[in-house]
C-alpha cells in the first residue's frame, strides 16, 4: 500500500530547505581520496570487493557532508555495477544509508523494457508487490527511478503502476543533457513534433492520474539544463510534471540556464550537480576533514546559486 507520494515528500523537503539541489553520486575509483581507497584495501584487499567498499565509503562520506543541506541524492548505478556483485551490494547499502540519513534517493539506472522484464526492473528498484513482497526488505528500495521511454507506453506502464502503488516516483528521459541528444531527440516526426516533445506528451498522459497534493505527478521528466530553450518550452508543456534537471555545474550549465526549469514560485524542479560537488576537494591526498568540508561548501554554494535561479521564476 502506498504511503505519501514521493513527489509530495520531495516538494515538502525542497521547501523546508529552500534548496532544489540534488547531489549526484557518480564515484570513479581513481578520483576517490587516497585515504578512502587505502582503508578499503586494508579491509578487503585490492580487488573488486575492495573497490566496491571504496565506492561505498566515499558515497557515505558525501552523504554525511550534504544530508543537512539538500533534499535528495542521485546514485548512478553504472559506477557500482562496474565492480560486479560487490558493487551492486555497495549500491544498495548506500541507498539504505542515504535514506537513513533523511535523504530522498533517486536510482539513476535508466531502465526500460517490456512486459514481465519491465515489471522485474520495477521490482528491483521500486519494490515488490504482494505476495513476493513478504520475501523482500521493504526499506532498501530507492524513492525514485530514471527510466527510458524509447520502447513506448507499454514499457513504462509497469513502472508507473508500481510507483503509484508504493508511493515511489519516476523520471522519464525527455531531453537529455549530453551533446548527442539532438541526434534523435530533436528529430521531427510526421506530426511535426520532435521526438522529445512526443516523449513529453507521453509523460503527461501517463502521469495524469497520479497527481499528488503538491500538484505534481508521480511521473516526472529528465530535461537537461544544457538546452535552456528546450527546457523552457517543455516546462510550459508540462505544468504538472516535476523535472529532474542534469547538466548544471561540470557539464557547463549555470543558474541562467537552469531558471527555465522552474514554475512560478520557484517550484517544479530538482537540479542535479555531481562532479562539481563530490570532487570539490583539492587533490586525491585530501584528508577526511578537508574532503567533507569541501563537498559541503560546494553544496552550499550551488544551493545559493539555485535559489537565485528559482526566484527568477516568481
Query: DSSP letters along 127-196, please?
Result: -PPTTGGGGS-TTSS-SEEEE--TT-HHHHHHHHHHHHHHT-EEEEEEE-SSGGGHHHHT-B-TTS-BHH
Closest to 234 (Cα-Cα) out of 261, 269, 209: 261
Sign of CA dihedral 37, 252, 234, 262: positive
At 314, the pLDDT band (50, 70, 90 cuts) reads low
Q: Specify the higher pLDDT residue, 215 or 309.
A: 215
Reported as a single tens digit per residue, the pLDDT across 172-230 is 999 999 999 999 999 999 989 999 999 999 999 999 999 999 999 999 999 999 999 99
At 2, the pLDDT band (50, 70, 90 cuts) reads low
Closest to 232 (Cα-Cα) out of 200, 192, 203, 210: 200
> With b meaning 16 or more CB within 10 Å and e meaning fewer, what string describes 238-250?
bebbbbbbbbbbe
End-to-end CA distance of the chain: 36
Q: Among residues 110, 161, 201, 209, which one is catalytic?
A: 110
Catalytic annotation present for 110: yes
CB atoms within 10 A of CB 189: 10
Sign of CA dihedral 128, 133, 139, 140: negative
At 75, the pLDDT band (50, 70, 90 cuts) reads very high
Specify the range with the lowest mean pLDDT, choosing from 148-152, 215-219, 220-224, 310-314: 310-314
* Ordered structural domains, the chain, with CATH: 6-311 (3.20.20.70)
Amino acid at each position: 500500500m502506498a504511503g505519501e507520494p514521493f513527489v509530495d515528500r520531495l516538494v515538502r523537503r525542497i521547501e523546508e530547505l529552500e534548496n532544489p539541489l540534488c547531489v549526484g553520486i557518480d564515484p570513479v575509483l581513481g578520483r576517490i581520496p587516497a585515504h578512502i581507497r587505502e582503508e578499503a584495501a586494508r579491509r578487503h584487499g585490492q580487488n573488486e570487493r575492495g573497490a566496491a567498499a571504496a565506492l561505498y565509503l566515499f558515497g557515505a562520506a558525501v552523504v554525511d557532508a550534504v544530508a543537512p543541506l539538500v533534499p535528495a541524492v542521485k546514485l548512478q548505478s553504472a559506477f557500482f555495477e562496474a565492480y560486479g556483485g560487490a558493487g551492486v551490494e555497495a549500491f544498495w547499502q548506500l541507498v539504505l544509508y542515504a535514506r537513513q540519513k533523511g535523504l530522498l534517493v533517486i536510482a539513476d539506472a535508466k531502465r526500460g523494457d517490456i512486459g514481465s522484464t519491465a515489471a522485474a526492473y520495477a521490482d528491483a528498484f521500486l519494490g515488490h508487490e504482494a505476495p513476493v513482497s513478504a520475501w523482500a526488505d521493504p526499506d532498501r528500495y530507492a524513492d525514485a527511478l530514471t527510466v527510458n521511454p524509447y520502447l513506448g507506453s507499454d514499457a513504462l506502464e509497469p513502472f508507473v503502476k508500481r510507483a503509484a502503488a508504493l508511493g515511489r516516483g519516476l523520471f522519464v528521459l525527455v531531453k537529455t543533457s549530453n551533446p548527442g541528444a539532438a541526434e534523435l531527440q530533436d528529430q521531427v516526426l510526421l506530426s511535426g513534433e520532435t521526438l522529445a516533445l512526443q516523449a513529453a506528451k507521453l509523460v503527461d498522459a501517463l502521469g495524469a492520474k497520479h497527481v499528488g497534493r503538491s500538484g505534481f505527478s508521480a511521473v516526472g521528466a529528465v530535461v537537461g539544463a544544457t538546452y535552456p530553450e528546450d527546457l523552457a518550452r517543455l516546462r510550459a508543456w508540462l505544468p504538472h510534471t516535476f523535472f529532474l534537471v542534469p547538466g548544471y555545474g561540470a557539464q557547463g550549465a549555470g543558474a541562467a540556464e537552469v531558471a527555465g526549469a522552474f514554475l512560478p514560485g520557484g517550484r517544479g524542479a530538482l537540479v542535479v550537480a555531481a562532479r562539481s560537488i563530490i570532487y570539490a576537494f583539492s587533490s586525491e591526498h585530501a584528508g577526511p576533514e578537508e574532503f567533507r568540508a569541501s563537498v559541503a561548501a560546494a553544496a552550499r554554494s550551488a544551493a545559493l546559486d539555485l535559489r537565485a535561479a528559482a526566484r527568477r521564476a516568481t
